[in-house]
Amino acid sequence: MNLTRLLEKTRRRFSAPSSDPSDRRRSTRSRLDYAVELQDAARRPADGAVHLTDMSGVGVGFVSSKDFRVGDQLAVRVRTDGREVAAQAVIRWARPEGVMTAYGVEFDGLGGLDRLRLELASRPGALTPGEFGELILQFIAGALVAAVAIDWVTSDPGRLTTLLFSLPWLLSTATGLGLVWFASKA
C-alpha cells in the first residue's frame, strides 16, 4: 500500500466523529493539508513522518511515526498561506494504528492573531480580515455614490422625470449585464 493511501485511510479513521463522550471538542475541526513541524521539549525536531489531519484555533490533529506520550510538551509550527504560526502545545490524546499514531494537540498560550489566522485557514473560503475590510470599503463607496446620485437627481425636477422614463431601460440593461457576469463566473 503506498504512503498516500495509508495517510488518507488513517486521516479518515482518526478524523471521524467519535461516539466516545470524553471526546469533546471545543472548536470545529477541518481537514486540511498544511506543513507542520514539531519539536520536543528539548527543541529537537521530531523524527519521522508527521502529517496534519485536522486543525482549529484550539489545536491540531496529526499522525506520526514518532512516539509521544499524553501530556508531552511540544513546539508546533504550522505554515498557512505563506505565514507561520508557532505555539507551545500539549498532547491531549493518542491512538496507535499500526506504525502510525494519531495525536490530538491543544495549543497553550496562542495569541489572538495567530488563533484567528488558524481559524481562517481551517475554513477554506472564509473571508480574511483584509478581504472583509475591502468588502466594507466597497459597500461604503457604493453608498456614497448612491447618495451623490440621489442628491444630483433630486436637485433638479427635470432630471427626476428623465430618470423615471429611463429607469426600465437602465434596470433591464443592469440585469442583462449581471446575468452575463454571473454566467462568466459559473
Q: How far is residue 102's CA from residue 67's CA, in Å, rounded to a whole number?
A: 10
Task: Tell whether the model's pLDDT for residue 14 goes beyond 60.
Answer: no
* Average pLDDT of the residues of the chain: 77
pLDDT tens digit sequence for 94-118: 998 788 888 898 988 888 877 777 7
- Quote the pLDDT of residue 1: 46
- Quote the pLDDT of residue 180: 93
The C-alpha cell that represents 53 in the structure block: 489531519
The C-alpha cell that represents 139 in the structure block: 459597500
Longest dimension (CA), the chain: 82
pLDDT tens digit sequence for 37-96: 777 777 777 766 777 888 887 888 888 888 888 998 888 887 776 677 888 889 999 998
pLDDT tier for residue 10 given thresholds of 50, 70 and 90: low
Percent of the chain with pLDDT over 90: 13
Half-sphere exposure of 162 (CA within 13 A, CB side): 8
Q: How far is residue 114's CA from residue 66's CA, in Å, rounded to a whole number?
A: 26
The C-alpha cell that represents 28 in the structure block: 470545529
* Of 10 and 124, the one with more pLDDT: 124
* Of 18 and 141, the one with more pLDDT: 141
